Structure 1
Amino acid sequence: MSPAQTKTTPSRKAGSDRRSELIQIASELFAERGFLATTIRDIADAAGIQSGSLYHHFTSKESMVEELLTDYWTTLLENYRAVVDTETDATEAARGLVRASVLLLDECALALRVMLNDWAYLSETFPFMEERLAECQTIWLDVLERGVASGAMTSSVEPTILYRTVMSSVSGTARWFRPDGPVSVEKLADEMATLFMNGIAARP
């Protein structure tokens, strides 16, 4: 490693750490107050810096929330793909998709709460959100349709309605679930998966 590299690497790491810290602070405010109600001054005050200092790291509060949302959708879709790549049985794949969705209540709790607060504005501002949501729906519908075709899942309800019901329930859980509460996210994931799979299983 050259002397120049030795000198710049710690600085870059410090800058990256500070950037992540600022996103965390901003995300907590967005989740608590709403994205639209939170100002750059609010974020700067919470971080203990001048408003202008934020612009050394970000061009706007939109650029801050964009990183938060991008991380969420990237993680969700990666986890979904991992499920369908490893589970050939439709019932087990559907169970895995429910669990993957619920487990993000811990890892991506702030992103979920921010989206619940301001979905209309954020999805219009960041079209990739609707695009990623459409990818999620495609994955879900493929699994549900395979389950119905195999006779393992009920055909009495349209797969699209099943998908939307499951996702609405899971996302709504972000309003009340707290990872440090009496129920672990793993237990919640298992119980919600069991609840939904019992509901959509085909009856004799």
Structure 2
Amino acid sequence: MSTTPTRTAAAKKARGGVDRRGELIQIAGQLFAEKGFLATTIRDIADAAGIQSGSLYYHFESKESMVEELIRQYWTTLLERYRAVIDADLDATETARGLIRASVLLLDECELALRLMLNDWNYLSEIFPFMEERLEECRELWLETLDRGVSAGEFSTLVDPLITYRTVMSAVSGTARWFRPGGQLSVETLADEMASVFMAGIIARP
């Protein structure tokens, strides 16, 4: 009889630790997005969390480990969504539309990661080489889709796949500067509208 309460307490403690870690990452991410990664100190994060600076090291080795977790989550999620779109085996037009929507929808789910990468890409990509590696994976998926669309006659022959890809991704990442989840414009509406705008520009005309 005595073992059940002990196990329950341990489980609650474990869940609490996970929840607290996630909470601290969100607090740190908000500061990184607003102040910039380099300008944010461990003391800033601890003060915002209402704890002593030393207590942060119970959960994280450094502020770099905190930002890495945020960024890895973004790239993992984005590539999972991209591969799901590709695996659906749709025509190039619907695949490209799906890739655009997948990118935009993360403005809600991974808002902080997008904002801090937008501000500090050069520095962060130097200390986290996986960022450029994941970006290259995304680029290849996009170029394969755009090349397929041109070859199939779905997209205009005037479409330059690399320029199109860069334009789309620059527009999506730049949206993180002004879009805020929970506002009058929903992320779903934004995703649909951005997809419509870009697709209208590359679809082959009769």
TM-score by length of 2: 0.96
| Partner residue in 2 for 1:135 | 137
* Corresponding residue for residue 55 of structure 1: 57
> Could you tell me how far apart the structure 2 residues matched to 1:35 and 1:109 are?
15
Amino acid at match of 1:66: E
Partner residue in 2 for 1:27? 29
RMSD between aligned alpha carbons? 1.3
Would you say how many aligned residue pairs link Structure 1 and Structure 2? 204
Alignment of 1:1-204 (within 5 A): 3=4, 5-204=7-206
SS of match in other structure, 2:157 = coil
Instruction: Provide the secondary structure at the position in 2 that maps to 1:145.
Output: helix
When normalised by structure 1's length, the TM-score is: 0.97
Unaligned runs of 5+ in 2: none
Unpaired segments of 5 or more residues in structure 1?
Answer: none
Q: Which moved more, 1:150-159 or 1:98-107?
A: 150-159
- Write the deviation string for residues 13-36 of structure 1: whole angstroms up to 9, x where unpaired: 111111011001000000000011
**Whole-angstrom distance in 1 between the partners of 2:140 and 2:62:** 33
* Contact 2:68–2:128 (Cα < 8 Å) also in 1: yes
The alpha carbon displacement at 1:87 in A equals 3.6
- Displacement after TM superposition at 1:39 (Å): 0.3
Counterpart Cα distance in 2 of 1:116 and 1:136: 17
